[in-house]
Amino acid sequence: MKRLKIISLVLIVVLFVVGLTVFGKPVKDRDALYQVSVLDGLLKGDYDGKLTLREIRRHGDFGLGTFDRLDGEAIELDGIFYQVRSDGVVQRLSGGIKSPFAMTTFFDTDIEFFVRQESDYRSLQEFIDRYLPTKNIPFAIKIEGKFNYIKARSVAAQSKPYPKLSEVVKNQSIFEFHDLEGTLVGFRMPDYLQGANMPGYHLHFLSRDKTKGGHVLECAINSGKVKIDTIGCFIMALPGSSDFYRLEFSGNLNEISTVENTITK
């Protein structure tokens, strides 16, 4: 019995190595979700930029996050970074601007289906859940569609000493959009990544004309196409800053869901 186990373990390792050789590094990288820092670090006020957009772009063409000093919501779509500022203005950013927290992957559609008339964010999430083979791996999610309603938020750049995110969102800007086309860009993360990330759905919105967007708090979709990218590898780039080293993570990690889903506060 013990010998069988050893043999099967060796086989798995061999297959893995053969897979790397056959498919090469770029294929493996396309399946990876690359994350800058820890979401709970952002929650605790670590808003200093860690990695440039140019660097992040090397790891993916699709994702979300925020910018240095928490300056708005980030959407990466088709390899272009868009910033939704707290005044609602959307602009393209690139190059040396840094992000304190970002998620990116090279988006390849693995699962695709249509969605119609989901009246709120929760029912849309439940609809998508039915198409997922498991809840135990991350998925990148792209939804191109017509929306009856989008409620989104953005946050303003902060200055030191940085307040916690739970304090910042008390003054967040809320945007409400009606009857517009656009794309939801984001991820569904497994429960076991609580703290490092946020379990469940995290979507940002960008209108088709690239003039409106934000972190999605509520939505009603009229019709759209849902594209899912299955993630096979999760990479976290951990900050080397003394601010990050000094953070205390033993507190309540469940605060994340309160902050990220805050509607009116």
Instruction: Point out which residues bind Zn ion (CB under 5 A).
Output: 215
* Smallest distance, Zn ion to C-beta of residue 118, A: 20
Contacts of 12 (CB under 8 A, 6+ apart): none
* Smallest distance, Zn ion to C-beta of residue 217, A: 10
Based on CB atoms, which residue is closest to Zn ion, 142 or 215?
Answer: 215
Q: Are strands 51-52 and 62-66 parallel, antiparallel or unpaired?
A: unpaired
C-alpha span between 148 and 165 (Å, rounded): 29
Taking Cα atoms as reference points, which of 53, 25, 43 lies closest to residue 248?
43
Based on CB atoms, which residue is closest to Zn ion, 59 or 215?
Answer: 215
Based on CB atoms, which residue is closest to Zn ion, 21 or 124?
Answer: 124
**Beta sheet of 233-237, edge-to-edge order:** 90-93, 80-84, 73-77, 62-66, 102-105, 32-36, 233-237
* Smallest distance, Zn ion to C-beta of residue 14, A: 41
Based on CB atoms, which residue is closest to Zn ion, 107 or 154?
Answer: 154
Residue nearest to Zn ion (CB): 215
* Smallest distance, Zn ion to C-beta of residue 1, A: 49
Q: CA 221: distance to chain centroid? A: 20
